[in-house]
C-alpha cells in the first residue's frame, strides 16, 4: 500500500531515536484540564458530555457500566498524572448509548483531527497504569503537539497527511512570542495540517533537523511534510508570523516547492541514489 509505505521514511527517523524513558511535557500549560484534586468530571447526561468533549483539546472519558472493575482506580490515577488533559467519567446509560458504548471503555477525543480512539474489550478491565499512560501520551495530539518519542508514534495515528514542524529552541528569548503566533496559525489549518513543535535545544531532535537538511544557522525554521508521497519543503524564518506560516502552507498545498531551497540541495556535491 502506497500510503503505508511512504510513511517509512518518517518512521525511520522516529525509530532510530529510540524511546526515551522520560517524556517532555506538553507544549504549553492548557487551562482546559480539570483541577486534578477533584478527579474526573462526572458526565451525567448527553449534553454535558458533548460540551465537555468540545471544550477540550484532548478529552479522555471512562465509560463504565461497572465502577467496581480495577481499571477505574487506574483511570483515577491518570487524572493526577496528566494535568493538561480533561478527564471525564460516566456510568449513565443514555451517555453510554449516545457514544455507542456496549462494554466498559476508555475513549480519547481529540479536537485537532476530530478523532475518537477507543480502548475496550476484555483486557481493559485489568489494564495496567503503564499501558493506559502510554496510550494517553502517544495519542494526545493537540492544536500544536510537541514532538517527542511518544507523540512521534502518535503522529501515525491520524488521518491528517500533512505535518508542519516549527523547529525552534524553546530556551530562546523569542520562543514564547513565536509560539503564540504559531498556535494562532494552527487554528487556520485545523483538520488540514497537523502543527508540531520540535525543540532544537533537545539533542535527540538533531535527527529530525538533519532529516530536513536544516543547519543550526538556519533555525528557527518551518518544515512541512506529506506522509502520502514523502514530499517536503523547508523555510528558515527569523520570525514566525501568521502570514509567513499561512503563505508557506498555502504554497505547499498548491504544489509549490521553494526553489532556492531545492536548488541549493541539488548543488551540494553529495548525490543520492
Ligand X SMILES: *[C@@H]1O[C@H](CO)[C@@H](O)[C@H](O)[C@H]1NC(C)=O
* Binding residues for ligand X restricted to 65-104, rule: CB under 6 A: 67, 91, 93, 98-100
Cα(33)–Cα(107) distance, rounded to whole angstroms?
16
Measured from the CB atom, the residue of 6 and 91 that comes closer to ligand X is 91
**Minimum CB distance to ligand X, residue 152 (Å):** 28
HSE, CB side, 13 Å, CA atoms: give it for residue 81.
17
Measured from the CB atom, the residue of 54 and 93 that comes closer to ligand X is 93
**Minimum CB distance to ligand X, residue 65 (Å):** 7
Measured from the CB atom, the residue of 80 and 116 that comes closer to ligand X is 116
Total binding residues toward ligand X, as defined by CB under 6 A: 6
Measured from the CB atom, the residue of 124 and 221 that comes closer to ligand X is 124
**Minimum CB distance to ligand X, residue 57 (Å):** 19
The runs of H, that is alpha helices, within the chain are 2-5, 8-15, 46-54, 71-81, 93-98, 129-139, 149-154, 175-188, 206-211, 242-253, 259-267
Counting contacts by CB under 6 A, is residue 172 touching ligand X? Answer: no
The kind and range of the H/E element at 163 are strand 162-168
**Minimum CB distance to ligand X, residue 40 (Å):** 12
**Footprint of ligand X (CB under 6 A):** 67, 91, 93, 98-100
Amino acid at each position: 500500500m502506497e500510503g503505508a509505505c511512504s510513511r517509512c521514511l518518517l518512521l525511520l527517523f522516529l525509530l532510530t531515536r529510540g524511546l526515551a524513558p522520560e517524556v517532555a511535557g506538553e507544549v504549553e500549560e492548557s487551562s482546559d484540564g480539570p483541577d486534578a484534586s477533584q478527579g474526573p468530571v462526572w458526565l451525567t447526561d448527553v449534553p454535558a458530555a458533548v460540551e465537555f468533549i468540545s471544550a477540550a483539546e484532548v478529552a479522555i472519558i471512562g465509560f463504565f457500566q461497572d465502577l467496581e472493575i480495577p481499571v477505574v482506580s487506574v483511570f483515577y490515577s491518570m487524572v493526577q498524572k496528566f494535568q493538561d488533559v480533561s478527564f471525564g467519567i460516566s456510568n449513565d446509560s443514555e451517555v453510554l448509548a449516545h457514544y455507542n458504548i456496549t462494554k466498559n471503555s476508555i475513549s480519547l477525543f481529540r479536537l485537532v483531527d476530530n478523532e475518537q480512539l477507543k480502548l475496550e474489550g476484555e483486557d481493559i478491565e485489568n489494564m495496567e497504569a503503564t499501558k493506559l499512560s502510554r496510550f494517553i501520551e502517544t495519542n494526545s495530539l493537540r492544536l500544536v503537539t510537541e514532538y517527542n518519542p511518544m507523540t512521534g508514534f502518535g503522529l501515525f495515528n491520524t488521518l491528517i497527511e500533512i505535518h508542519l514542524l516549527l523547529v525552534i529552541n524553546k530556551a530562546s528569548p523569542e520562543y514564547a512570542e513565536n509560539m503564540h503566533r504559531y498556535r494562532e496559525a494552527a487554528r487556520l489549518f485545523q483538520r488540514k495540517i497537523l502543527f508540531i513543535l520540535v525543540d532544537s535545544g533537545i539533542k535527540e531532535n538533531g535527527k529530525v533537523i538533519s532529516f530536513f537538511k536544516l543547519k543550526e544557522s538556519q533555525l528557527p525554521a518551518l518544515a512541512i511534510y506529506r506522509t502520502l508521497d514523502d514530499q517536503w519543503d523547508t523555510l528558515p524564518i527569523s520570525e514566525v508570523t501568521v502570514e509567513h506560516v499561512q503563505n508557506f502552507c498555502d504554497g505547499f498545498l498548491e504544489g509549490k516547492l521553494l526553489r532556492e531551497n531545492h536548488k541549493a540541495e541539488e548543488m551540494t556535491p553529495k548525490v543520492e541514489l
